Amino acid sequence: MAKKRSGSQPAKQSSGMKGYIAGAGQVVEQLITDTLEKNFMPYAMSVILSRAIPEIDGFKPSHRKLLFTMYKMGLLDSGRTKSANIVGQTMKLNPHGEAAIYDTMVRLSRGHEALLHPFVDSKGNFGKFYSRDMAYAASRYTEARLDPICRELFRDIDRDTVDFVDNYDNTMKEPTLLPATFPTVLVNANTGIAVGMASSICPFNLSEICETTISLMRDPEHRIVDTLLAPDFPGGGQIVYDRGQMESIYNTGRGSFRVRSRYSYDKSANCVDITQIPPTTTIEAIVEKVVELIRQGKLKEVADIRDETGLDGLKITIDLKRGTDADKLMQKLFRMTPLEDSFSCNFNVLVAGTPKVMGVRELLEEWIAFRVECIRRRTHYDLTRKKEKLHLLQGLQRILLDIDKAIAIVRETEEESEVVPNLMIGFGIDQVQAEYVAEIRLRHLNREYILKRTEETNQLEEEIRQLQGILDSRSKVNSIIISELQRVSKEYGAPRKSMLLYADDLQEQQEEEEIPQYPVHLFFTKEGYFKKITPLSLRMSGEQKLKEGDQILQQEEGSNTMDLLFFTNRCQVYKAKASDFPDTKASVMGEYIPARLGMEEGESVLYMAAVQEYTGYVLFFFENGKAAKVELSAYATKTNRKKLVSAYSDKSPAVSISLLPEDTEFLLTNSQGRILLLHTGAIAPKSTRSTQGVQVMTLRKNGRLVQAVAYQEGMLKKPERYRKNIPATGALPAAEETQGEQLTL
């Protein structure tokens, strides 16, 4: 319960006031749950259902209201009108202010270039989707009308294909959905952020979507990825295509893929022209990032960058310094700037008022079900109208038998109200037929007119049979949908704008960023601090600065290009490069590795392996007396993964981890004081990182291995005494071993 106290008193009536609000100034206690239920939840539902999430026809309410208003204004097959007129008329359905309505219209327009198939044919400055600063003109200056493709959105809308509801003030009707004849929900991009959920649908090529839908209707087991290659963006670009990744997106409706810019190299001017960029970025964001990298000294190859976007379209020009390889520079820019960006998919759509994340197959199946219902409703509407007309003509046929009798009945009837009943009695027809006959004009009371009308009877009966056949057959309904999709694809289909770059080929072409190579000394301490010091700096330095109580565990001589593997107590290994760390001095404490590499809480480093080439082995000794020799190549990865789980066996705590370039001897000591001298050649190497290893030291009950160190000559006076065939219990140290300091390890 939310409790608030206030010292204010209720407002009292003063002599100059006519009245006051009872309880004003008091704070009333109210349950938080009640506040959420009464205030927040209705707002959340309103945003989800009426604002941010598209429905199966591919539109949000704001889009649908705008397009329907333009349709009712007659802007489908006419000249353009001022955008301000459209905005004003749309307020009858969407009372959210002209700015919000005009923003919606701008996004749907051809001039804005945000959609593959725009719905608004615009004239004037509508800004650009790919520019943050290129603002659109006010609605009083621009003009618009519906694009021809909107015929497919409103086809048969007046034949009861969709439901209509009252607008907000009950003065007119508006459709709940548009009877689109193709899956607009997947053809044009749609993004929205609701409360607690969001939607992000990427656009697909119209021809590919139509072909996929047709194939799915003919074969429910059809593989979507065979006909639907990949998304297709209005701004083009290059999609980094991974078939497995794309199939995952198609199946689940979630995932992401990378989109690259397209560029060309002008040799004469020594510059790169970028003409297509990812849909998730803007020209300004790219230019600002490149300028920032130049200031930081990370792009020394770039002489200048300019935004040359104009009437010919998008263009960013990058001037190169002499001797720069344009392709290598672009690979570097793809890694460091938004010239390559990821598009995240979240196919969240409202189906029957319920938000649902669906894959492409399920989404198309829902659209097909929606379209089947549209066809059935349209057919039923036509069937009802034709049956009504047939019924009237059948009454007219009765009159044909004796026109003179019909005229006589009308002439001899004294009261007008008795004409219809007398016709019903005279010819045996019902009231509807009699009303129709009674309304025939005098000039039409001739045999020719009546014969022409009755000749339609046979044709109507045939049409009714066909319409009834459609209602009774799902296959005929499917055939109609397929023929409509084929027509739409032929009439409005266009070639793909986004190229495909296959990820497997791309990885081979990518070149590693050049890392300067020079000798360094690597230090790692017990508390997890790391230092990289050049030989010159080390010679000029004094004593190593360490945290109080800390000590150096490892000191390695290596190169700046080495990989560093940090093995932790959680059976994980974190990978980094020596070049990732700055050169430092002995007088600084160094980098704290758990924080730098983002380790889990309570996770600590047991061993650092400095690797130039992934040859040799990593040797693990465990408390249970087992040892595992894992090939170092098992830790090499093609991608730049920073973390490997299951780096070694978790069946028993690790006592010792060592990098083993070649086989050597190790001195093992258990908790009972027994010693075993082991040659690592007796341990078979494994390629599986999580191998449990082999038993090398047999332990008694409650015993454990406590120490394992590389053996050095002179550590034991009688080493042969402790060399045994594994597994072995080892031997207790002889008296002469304990007299000196040989066993001080």
Asked if residues 191 and 129 have their Cβ atoms less than 8 Å apart, the reply is: no
Distance between CA atoms of residues 664 and 129, nearest Å = 65
The residue to which tokens 């009712």 are assigned: 72
Distance between CA atoms of residues 576 and 564, nearest Å = 5
The residue to which tokens 């190859």 are assigned: 301
Alpha helices per DSSP H over 521-655: 535-540, 593-596
Phi first, then psi: what are they for 392, rounded to 5°? -65, -40
The neighbouring-strand residues paired with 496 are none
| Structure-block tokens of residue 430 | 């019902």
Decide if 614 is catalytic: no
Cis omega (within 30 of 0) for bond into 727: yes
Q: How would you classify the pairing of strands 705-710 and 665-670? A: antiparallel
Asked if residues 211 and 227 have their Cβ atoms less than 8 Å apart, the reply is: yes
Distance between CA atoms of residues 477 and 468, nearest Å = 11
Phi first, then psi: what are they for 239, rounded to 5°? -90, 125
- The full length of the chain comes to 745
Q: How would you classify the pairing of strands 271-276 and 316-320? A: antiparallel
Q: How would you classify the pairing of strands 694-695 and 654-660? A: unpaired
Q: Which of 141, 168, 502, 518 is catalytic?
A: 141
Of residues 570, 728, 724, the one with CA closest to residue 650: 570
Residue 167 neighbours by CB under 8 Å, 6+ apart: 92, 93, 173, 174
The residue to which tokens 């560029």 are assigned: 263
Distance between CA atoms of residues 91 and 50, nearest Å = 16
Q: Please give the sequence-ordered ranges of beta strands (E in DSSP) within 116-181, or none if there are none.
A: 120-123, 143-146, 164-166, 173-175
Asked if residues 670 and 705 have their Cβ atoms less than 8 Å apart, the reply is: yes
Of residues 509, 534, 510, 511, the one with CA closest to residue 521: 534
Please give the helix or strand (H or E) that residue 366 lies within, else none.
Answer: helix 360-400
3 state SS of 348: strand
Asked if residues 115 and 202 have their Cβ atoms less than 8 Å apart, the reply is: no
Give the number of other Cβ atoms within 10 Å of residue 206's Cβ. Answer: 25
Alpha helices per DSSP H over 13-60: 32-35, 41-47
Please give the helix or strand (H or E) that residue 333 lies within, else none.
Answer: helix 326-336
Give the number of other Cβ atoms within 10 Å of residue 612's Cβ. Answer: 11
Alpha helices per DSSP H over 73-97: 83-90
Asked if residues 705 and 652 have their Cβ atoms less than 8 Å apart, the reply is: no
**Terminal CA-CA length for the chain:** 64
Asked if residues 535 and 519 have their Cβ atoms less than 8 Å apart, the reply is: yes
Phi first, then psi: what are they for 47, rounded to 5°? -65, -40
Asked if residues 70 and 121 have their Cβ atoms less than 8 Å apart, the reply is: no
Q: How far is CA 311 from the centre of its chain?
A: 32
| Structure-block tokens of residue 357 | 């994340």
The residue to which tokens 């400055």 are assigned: 125
Q: If you write DSSP's letter for every residue of 582-601 in order, what string do you get?
A: ----TTS--EEHHHHTTPPT
Distance between CA atoms of residues 319 and 301, nearest Å = 9
Q: How far is CA 248 from the centre of its chain?
A: 11
Asked if residues 622 and 650 have their Cβ atoms less than 8 Å apart, the reply is: no
Which residues are annotated as catalytic? 141
